[in-house]
Copies of this chain bind each other. A is one copy, B any other.
Amino acid sequence: MTFKIGDLSKIASTKVVTIRYYEKLGLLSKPLRTSGNYRIYSEEQKDRLCFIRRCRNLGFSLDQVRELLDLSSQKNQKCIEIDKIAGEHLLAIEQKTRDLNRLAHELRKINLSCQGGGRIENCRIIEALSPGQSI
């Protein structure tokens, strides 16, 4: 079973240009070509792309994905490194979530204090974001 780039595009929900971009970065190995110079991909390459996309959807950077791919090919090594990458990523996400929650809270306050009927001179949004305030 082989695939053209458009097939992979659908399977992995990835733009065609993005697949070529991954190849250029070396995340995907160079595929075989047809006589007409079309890329043809193996199952394995398809799986690798899906892995990459799955990681990306989970918020891993391409560098992290690269590490995970490298690590996952060294099957005899301990998986503590992998655990570390995933753990750090989780911490970063949790931090980000906290920040966003704080931010949403502030915006909700702003929206409440500005019901659209007033003038800007009375609008607290500018005030709220001005220096010296601690929202």
Size bin of chain A's contact surface: 35 or more
Answer yes or no: A29 CB below 8 A from chain B CBs. no
A95 to chain B, nearest CB (A): 10
- Give the residues from 77 to 135 in chain A that come closer than 8 angstroms, CB to CB, to chain B: 77-80, 82-84, 86-87, 89-90, 93-94, 96-97, 100-101, 103-104, 106-108, 110-111, 114-123, 125-126, 129-131
- Given A71-B120, A80-B116, A97-B101, 18 further pairs, Cβ under 8 A: A50-B130, A50-B131, A54-B130, A54-B131, A58-B106, A58-B107, A58-B129, A72-B126, A78-B116, A79-B114, A79-B119, A79-B123, A79-B125, A83-B111, A83-B116, A84-B116, A90-B108, A100-B100
